[in-house]
Amino acid sequence: MTTTTPATMAAIGTAARAAARTLALAAPAAKADALRAAAAAIRDGAAVILAANARDLEAARAAGRPGSFIDRLTLTPARIEAMAAGVEAVAALPDPVGATTATWTRPNGLAISRVRVPLGVIGMIFESRPNVTADAGALCLKSGNAVILRAGSESMNSAAAIHRCLQAGLAAAELPKAAIQLVPTGDRQAVGLMLSGLDGAIDVIIPRGGRSLVERVQKEARVPVFAHLEGIVHVYVDKAADLEMAKRLVVNAKLRRTGVCGAAEGLLVDRAVADTFLKPLIGSLIEAGCEVRGDSASVAADARAKPATDADWGHEFLDAIIAARVVDGLDGAMAHIARYGSQHTDCIVTDDAATAERFLREVDSAIVLHNASTQFADGGEFGMGAEIGIATGRFHARGPVGVEQLTTFKYQVRGAGQVRPV
Amino acid sequence: MTTTTPATMAAIGTAARAAARTLALAAPAAKADALRAAAAAIRDGAAVILAANARDLEAARAAGRPGSFIDRLTLTPARIEAMAAGVEAVAALPDPVGATTATWTRPNGLAISRVRVPLGVIGMIFESRPNVTADAGALCLKSGNAVILRAGSESMNSAAAIHRCLQAGLAAAELPKAAIQLVPTGDRQAVGLMLSGLDGAIDVIIPRGGRSLVERVQKEARVPVFAHLEGIVHVYVDKAADLEMAKRLVVNAKLRRTGVCGAAEGLLVDRAVADTFLKPLIGSLIEAGCEVRGDSASVAADARAKPATDADWGHEFLDAIIAARVVDGLDGAMAHIARYGSQHTDCIVTDDAATAERFLREVDSAIVLHNASTQFADGGEFGMGAEIGIATGRFHARGPVGVEQLTTFKYQVRGAGQVRPV
């Protein structure tokens, strides 16, 4: 495999920084035009993209990659159309740059405004999903940021074909080519260089991929990272829950898609209603195709449940498996979540408003839900239009990261000659 | 000098994390009560604090510390009263925790709120100014954060005396003692341990001190840092400026206090008016006691100016010295700022609204001012009540860091049983 040299990466960083300065001041219409032109180029280039993807798929099959990997890598006409439509949807979002988010006037007459500005240069490191090329490219461009995309070596042909369509969009709107760059190889050395920040050229790293990638990024990065390591998501069914609602929510939270970070991994049932709730809740999951690993009460309620081991609590299954147990009411549930959760997304099912409010206030997760499926943990579902990822950090980007979260701000102060007294 | 062992620091971290959980849910009145009681204890303990400070001062003088250091270290009855009043001012601020900063409802009926929550545990590393103990302790408590204070060894007696007053305040309000902890020694090993994050116990580090401290923190910290390395602050006097206003602003921006990060370090004068503006602007500075290091035009305009060297551009003098030069209008000024500035604070003086708006939009600094002194770069002057520092990072805290900037947020989602469609 060829590698990308430090000199090449430094040149990419320098070009990105220069492009970022232009992009920060680009007219909203130019960015939207570029995205619409890119979407058209993706549609027009569907056959070329599919041919490139076929080469990636052939290599992946020859390398004996598992079916889940092949599925993430595979593009179809429908997936390409969805990608183009996604880019158009980002084009149609309100432009976040330049928006004034607060204004106030001081007693001395100074008028202060807080105004959104782009972050700068974003380093996006991803693995097998080639559509991230288009999604991340579109979100970064919309938010006025230059982006350096580093695709995995297995999806390089597909990513390069999509990248050419984004380049066509930039050219159509006369925006700098370096606004969206693709690292030419998928080697690990390029990742290491990006994590070093390319001598100040990268402002933030966003990894999209498996746990080992995110772990490496969080460990090695010398620049800020927007990421979550894992989504240990819980649903707590309170004694005041509507049982039918709880069954529906738990099954959706666990099984709608099992591989997403908002998928439930733990079911907590209030001891006060365990006798009546445990059997139907566990039965619903099992009958929907889920393996339940439960505490002794859960196994006693439904013999099809398997005994849980200590390793099952706080485990991210990302599969049709859930860990289930009885807890001592709201406080027991919150103690379990504090111990085993990952501060990502947690949910309470209850008809008691005071209990719900305590849960929403006291559980220290980026997203806390009352009577709604945890699978709503998603920028699109939040109304952000699209997301580049979900972050569990405590700074800046927390929860879904959409175009607004890809900006920072500055203060503009307008005066009439005021000087500061001693 | 005694050192603080890793075991002691780990215990401090664990206690801080536990206190942070309590503080995050503490009633606003309890936090305000604790601060008012702490202010009373500072006033009541003034003699004890002064005696402790006298011991620090004696040691500093014996060690031959310079006058500027002695001044930063010195407490007086007036400074102690100001410290107590500052703590009361923080007590009187609106409580930021729990404030809802955005709400919206999705088409499916989900009601989403973004609600402020504390950051968690803050590690505050400072040097000689003992009043930081009270300022930082008060701001962290108000914002619901636990804080670990590490004072320099030279101010340890003073810091410990002030810390005891804060402890009295916490006790009066029945808040955990570990909400505000003081590292018992001022050695560098404790700093290193804090920069490692104390095994996840510290969420953010805030350094307050000289350039060497901030450099070390930015280089070694494994957790996020709110800081600025330097304030290379510029004032650009445009051809459309009111000359009298420009003179007043430049003199205030440079000389009101020369040691603060918002003090101007560079004067840029539009070539179109250099013939008429340069002489009075430079003359005003020199007559107010400032050394001017200028380009050839500046030296020609006033023979008292000294020729600038390349090292003077982008230099943080923190003294009554300014670097002055002629630039080619707005674009020349912005190019100079992009090359030499530190993205902290920059100012334009002009009566041309379009020119001012371009400067405010295009200069990439945390604070950009029009017709106002750069010495307004201050959380108190921004109306934030008080600040723990000024940050130039692009994330989260940028510009003055007050109680709101010491919080993060979570999303609360209220539903009625919604599940996510496939």
Give the nearest partner residue to B383 out of A106, A251, A370, using CB atoms: A106
With respect to residue B129, please indicate whether it lies within any of the assigned structural domains. yes
**Radius of gyration for chain A, computed over Cα atoms and rounded to the nearest angstrom:** 24
Please determine, for residue B1, whether its predicted confidence score (pLDDT) is greater than 60.
Answer: no
**Token output for A395:** 């700074």
B257 & B353 share domain? yes
**Token output for A164:** 């050419």
Fill in the amino acid letter for A85: A
Q: How many C-beta atoms lie closer than 10 Å to residue B228's C-beta?
A: 21
Identify the H or E element spanning B243. helix B243-255
Contacts of B397 in chain A (CB under 8 A): 395
User: How confident is the model over B70-83, as a mean pLDDT?
Assistant: 95
With respect to residue B80, please indicate whether it lies within any of the assigned structural domains. no
B98 & B194 share domain? yes
Which residue range is the domain that position A404 belongs to?
6-226+397-412
User: How confident is the model over A348-363, as a mean pLDDT?
Assistant: 96
A241 & A261 share domain? yes
B340 & B249 share domain? yes
Q: How many C-beta atoms lie closer than 10 Å to residue B88's C-beta?
A: 18
Which residue of B21, B25, B342, B376 is the best one to mutate when testing the A interface, meaning the one whose CB has the most A CBs within 10 A? B376
A276 & A190 share domain? no
ipTM of the complex: 0.90
A250 & A165 share domain? no
User: For chain A, how many helices (H) and strands (E)?
Assistant: 14, 16
User: How confident is the model over A15-29, as a mean pLDDT?
Assistant: 96
pLDDT tens, position by position, A63-118: 999 988 899 999 999 999 999 999 999 999 999 999 999 999 999 999 999 999 99
Spatial separation of the C-alpha atoms in residues B181 and B167, rounded to whole Å: 9
Please determine, for residue A365, whether its predicted confidence score (pLDDT) is greater than 80.
Answer: yes
C-alpha distances (whole Å) from B149 to each of A2, B22, B121 are: 50, 19, 11
Please determine, for residue B387, whether its predicted confidence score (pLDDT) is greater than 90.
Answer: no
The domain that contains B19 carries what CATH number?
3.40.605.10
Spatial separation of the C-alpha atoms in residues A74 and A64, rounded to whole Å: 15
Q: How close A205 comes to chain B (CA, Å)?
A: 12
With respect to residue B71, please indicate whether it lies within any of the assigned structural domains. no
| Average pLDDT of chain A to the nearest whole number | 94
**Radius of gyration for chain B, computed over Cα atoms and rounded to the nearest angstrom:** 24
With respect to residue A421, please indicate whether it lies within any of the assigned structural domains. no
DSSP string of B185-234? ---HHHHHHHHTTTTTT-SEEEEES-HHHHHHHHHH-SS-B---S---EE
Q: Minimal CA–CA distance to A172: which of A81, A42, A53?
A: A42
Contacts of A397 in chain B (CB under 8 A): 395
A41 & A155 share domain? yes
**Token output for A124:** 């996006």
Q: How far apart are the first and last CA of chain B?
A: 65
Side-chain half-sphere CA neighbours of B414 within 13 A: 18
Q: Does any CB of chain A come closer than 8 Å to the CB of residue B339?
A: no
Give the nearest partner residue to A408 out of B368, B382, B394, using CB atoms: B394
Contacts of B110 in chain A (CB under 8 A): 372, 376, 381
The domain that contains A289 carries what CATH number?
3.40.309.10
Fill in the amino acid letter for A27: A
**Chain B, window 103-162: residues with a beta carbon less than 8 angstroms from a chain A beta carbon:** 104, 106, 110, 112, 117, 119-120
Q: A106 and B418: CB-CB below 8 Å?
A: no
Angle ∠(A38,A39,A41) on CA atoms, nearest 5: 60
Spatial separation of the C-alpha atoms in residues B163 and B42, rounded to whole Å: 9
B221 & B166 share domain? yes
Q: A375 and B422: CB-CB below 8 Å?
A: no
With respect to residue B87, please indicate whether it lies within any of the assigned structural domains. no
Q: A415 and B369: CB-CB below 8 Å?
A: yes
What is the predicted pLDDT for the residue at B344?
95
Spatial separation of the C-alpha atoms in residues A93 and A90, rounded to whole Å: 5
Give the nearest partner residue to B408 out of A24, A370, A394, using CB atoms: A394
| Average pLDDT of chain B to the nearest whole number | 94
Please determine, for residue B186, whether its predicted confidence score (pLDDT) is greater than 90.
Answer: no
Please determine, for residue B9, whether its predicted confidence score (pLDDT) is greater than 60.
Answer: yes
Q: Does any CB of chain B come closer than 8 Å to the CB of residue A28?
A: no
Give the nearest partner residue to B420 out of A256, A397, A398, using CB atoms: A256
B159 & B249 share domain? no
Q: Does any CB of chain B come closer than 8 Å to the CB of residue A414?
A: yes
Beta strand extents in A271-342 (DSSP E only): 291-294, 306-307, 321-327
With respect to residue A382, please indicate whether it lies within any of the assigned structural domains. no
B102 & B141 share domain? yes
What is the predicted pLDDT for the residue at A1?
54
Is A35:A61 a contact under the CB 8 Å cutoff?
no
Spatial separation of the C-alpha atoms in residues A197 and B395, rounded to whole Å: 15
With respect to residue B38, please indicate whether it lies within any of the assigned structural domains. no
Q: B418 and A364: CB-CB below 8 Å?
A: no
A99 & A238 share domain? no
In sequence order, what are the residues at sequence separation of 6 or more whose Cβ sits closer than 8 angstroms to the Cβ of residue B259? B68, B318, B319
Read off the pLDDT band of A128 (50, 70, 90): confident
Q: How close B352 comes to chain A (CA, Å)?
A: 12
B405 & B308 share domain? no
Q: How close A27 comes to chain B (CA, Å)?
A: 12
With respect to residue B58, please indicate whether it lies within any of the assigned structural domains. no
Task: Count structural domains, chain A.
Answer: 2
User: How confident is the model over A343-348, as a mean pLDDT?
Assistant: 96
Q: Does any CB of chain B come closer than 8 Å to the CB of residue A206?
A: no
